[in-house]
Amino acid sequence: MDGGRMNDPVPPAERDGPPAHAPGQGRTSNVHFSHVTTGRWLPPPGKAPGWPFAEIGHWQIDAQAAAEDWLTGLREWRREHRSRLGWDDSAYRRPDLQWAQRNIVHVQTMVEDRYFYDPESGRYTVDRYLDDLERRYGGVDSVLVWYAYPNIGIDERNQFDLARSLPGGVQGLRGAVADFHRRGVRVFLPAKPWDHGTRDEGRPEWEAMAELVRATGADGINGDTYNGVPRAFYDACDSLGCPVVLEPESTISSEEQLMWNVQSWTKKVPADLVPVVPKWKWVEPRHMIHIENRWGRDRRHDLQNLCFNGIGYNAWENVWGIWNGLVERDAEVLRRLATIFRACAPLLVSAGWAPYAPTLQRHVYASRFPGDDGRVLHTLVNRVESDLDGEQLVLPHPAGARYVDLWHGRELVPRVDGGCAWLSFPIEALGYGAVLTLAPGAAMPELPELLQRLSAMAARPLASLSTAWRSLPQTMVTIAPTAPRSEAPEGMVTIPGGPYDFVVGGVEIEGQLWDGVDVQYPWEPSARRFHRHRLDVPTFHIDRTPVTNAQFQRFVQQSRYVPQDAGNYLRHWVDGAPPAGWDHKPVTWVSLEDARAYAAWAGKRLPHEWEWQLAAQGRDGRLYPWGSTWDGHAVPPTQRGRTAPVPADVGCLPRGASPYGVLDLVGHVWQWTDEYRDEHTRAAVLRGGSAYLPQTSHWYFPQAQRLDQHGKYLLMAPGKDRSGCIGFRCVVDAG
């Protein structure tokens, strides 16, 4: 894997390789480099200025006819470009970072995923998580453990505080990292340059990240929103003896950063008939790129470009708690490509890589990856919607060379003519191929076992696999009724029952109008962002104000309640009691489980969301408890600094009362209501918003102070779920 030769990226062996065109093909000089110095993709050979916009008659373009001139020009551009940069490839030659060059399948792992962490047993379940990925698409080589967004900004905890809030703290995370390592999977942690609105960590982000990497044993840093992770992260980790692979989320914007960012994501592959070449892999063939298309449902276009370029994939499915699972066909394609790529990983980073290698079928595109060990890999993609069979490749044939159809798991018997081997094999419509050439004497001891595995996979045609996509069904966690009370208990208000038009929408930052966003009410067939339903709500009693610290203290003293997971539990209390002057403030730093325990002790329950909204809104559809025009005097002042405000005393702002006289509904503290679950994620609906609104980024947890809006808060474990800006109030069923 030593890449020192890359100071001359076009070795003589490549220049003296096979002929650029198969017999009968012409040669056309039509090379355009107007897009080379900008953007993330190189314009394919034969494309006119104005690419990547659609062209009429694009089927007439013969990219292979222009490929020889295209490659000649691009090689010269690369040589000159690297010379101007003063190219330093030392990061790619470091043995402790070369695992990135074999990092084929990557995935972003939400810590709230129930396969990753089991809230019932209170433990990390890395084996269960990885077993599921193995079963569905052949497993992963690395994970990005994601613990901040979209919940960050609910309170003042910064990105590092949220890592410390994980079950078991940093040591708990270290244990999960060790579990991944035991399975041969590398681990990335996220860095967020936009997090300057929450608590100040008191030191540069790169120093804090380096300490976290060292403490957890992680292998890499993902730069969230970075167009190239700054060199400071690389150097800070090196200084602590924990070298890392840097992985910017967005495509690198400066060629210089490619020298220490040895891995990156890329997005939005141009939807061109001709597969495109990623610019940064062309500049440095050892640079590992992962295609990231988190909202894509049909990933065939991504996977074909992956196959053509010999790059990796981000198999991201749990997207901020919204499940976008790979369909059966795409999952199987990824399994097969990953199996082939892992077996041939040293070839995929070949300095002699040549895209648009000659093929015999029109609009079948191939790349050639020559190795130093007598092996050459060709990857092929069929870009037409027809099955293609017969001769696909013609290659120079030294006597004794062998040819292997890796996609189908079998050796090929070539037709030898004129010193060339003509290779026949089928490629499915919009399908894939991979041919391995072994020069005379070249050895690959693992080949028989590999072919056996690949042959078993190929027994199922891709066309037989489903491409159907659907969102995951959610269920609402049941809230048991209380003993009915005909009169409102002390401190509670009666809300009369009857018909109610329940209208609400989620404020999630991402997800657009996709099915599966937000929550699925019991009367809905799937989750969606906007909801409207006419309900017949029974009469109930609701707390006039949120539960206070003094009330919660009585519960703790009388019930001797101790949570199973005590992380961040009542962290604002001092020596087991509220701070002086806090008795009448809403209790916070209590989890959904803590709130339920209090409610059960008090003979109450948490409200369903529509009950909370009815108590706040009445039946006239107003936007706020006091009317439909915002009144800044009806709520506590908004805190936009880096520290969350001390909650206001309950009942101190009667101007904010609802039509029924219920207080402190909006802009004080968020309030727990219903919980929803699907196979992978739990989430709670929060109502009312809070007085804390961190600045500097639109990625912070959005406020929902209007009565037709709610927040969806992902749940992992009580210690992480508790917040200084979330409280609750209770309900009693009426007789």
> Per-residue DSSP letters for 535-553?
EEEPPEEEESSPPBHHHHH
DSSP 99: G
Residue 19's pLDDT band (cuts 50, 70, 90):
very low
- Statement: residue 16 has pLDDT above 80: no
DSSP 518: S
Domains: count for the chain? 2
Task: Specify if 434 maps to a domain.
Answer: no
* Residues contacting residue 90 through CB under 8 Å, at least 6 positions apart: 259
Closest CA to 525 of 583, 580, 470: 470
- Statement: residue 13 has pLDDT above 50: no
What is the chain's mean pLDDT, rounded?
Answer: 93
- Statement: residue 35 has pLDDT above 50: no
Task: Specify if 568 maps to a domain.
Answer: yes
Task: Specify if 581 maps to a domain.
Answer: yes
C-alpha of 681 from chain center: 14
pLDDT, tens digit (0-9, with 9 covering 90-100), for 661-676? 999 999 999 999 999 9
pLDDT, tens digit (0-9, with 9 covering 90-100), for 422-458? 999 999 999 999 999 999 989 899 999 999 999 999 9
CB 590 within 8 A of CB 570: yes
531 phi, psi to nearest 5 deg: -135, 140
Mean pLDDT of 221-247: 97
Half-sphere exposure of 348 (CA within 13 A, CB side): 26
Higher pLDDT, 6 or 694: 694
Task: Specify if 89 maps to a domain.
Answer: no
Burial class (CB in 10 A: 0-12, 13-18, 19+), 504: buried
Q: Could you tell me how many helices (H) and strands (E) the chain has, helices first?
A: 17, 33
CATH of residue 699's domain is: 3.90.1580.10
Residue 326's pLDDT band (cuts 50, 70, 90):
very high
- Per-residue tokens: 695: 């600045």
pLDDT, tens digit (0-9, with 9 covering 90-100), for 74-130? 999 999 989 998 999 999 999 999 999 999 999 999 999 999 999 999 999 999 999
Task: Specify if 51 maps to a domain.
Answer: no
Encoded amino acid at 565, one letter: D
Closest CA to 108 of 171, 216, 189: 189
The whole-angstrom separation of Cα 120 and Cα 123 is 8
Per-residue model confidence (pLDDT) at position 47: 67
pLDDT, tens digit (0-9, with 9 covering 90-100), for 446-493? 999 999 999 999 999 999 999 999 999 999 999 999 999 999 999 999
Residue 201's pLDDT band (cuts 50, 70, 90):
very high
Q: How many percent of the chain have pLDDT more than 90? A: 88
Task: Specify if 685 maps to a domain.
Answer: yes
The number of beta carbons lying within 10 Å of the beta carbon of residue 639 is: 17
Mean pLDDT of 397-406: 96
Helix (H) or strand (E) holding 187: strand 186-191
Task: Specify if 232 maps to a domain.
Answer: yes
CB 64 within 8 A of CB 27: no
- Statement: residue 66 has pLDDT above 90: no
Looking at 320, 345, 370, the residue that finishes a domain is 345
Q: What is the pTM of this model?
A: 0.93
CATH of residue 210's domain is: 3.20.20.80
Per-residue model confidence (pLDDT) at position 255: 83
CB 125 within 8 A of CB 116: yes
CB 606 within 8 A of CB 479: yes
- Statement: residue 27 has pLDDT above 90: no
- Statement: residue 259 has pLDDT above 60: yes
Mean pLDDT of 255-262: 94
Looking at 311, 345, 379, the residue that finishes a domain is 345
Half-sphere exposure of 557 (CA within 13 A, CB side): 9
Q: How many percent of the chain have pLDDT more than 70? A: 93
* Residues contacting residue 719 through CB under 8 Å, at least 6 positions apart: 165, 166, 167, 565, 566, 567, 568, 569, 591
- Statement: residue 30 has pLDDT above 80: no
- Statement: residue 137 has pLDDT above 90: yes
Sheet containing strand 540-543, strands side by side: 492-495, 540-543, 731-733
Task: Specify if 429 maps to a domain.
Answer: no
CB 714 within 8 A of CB 511: no
Looking at 303, 323, 345, the residue that finishes a domain is 345
- Residue 228, domain extent: 103-345
Per-residue model confidence (pLDDT) at position 5: 32
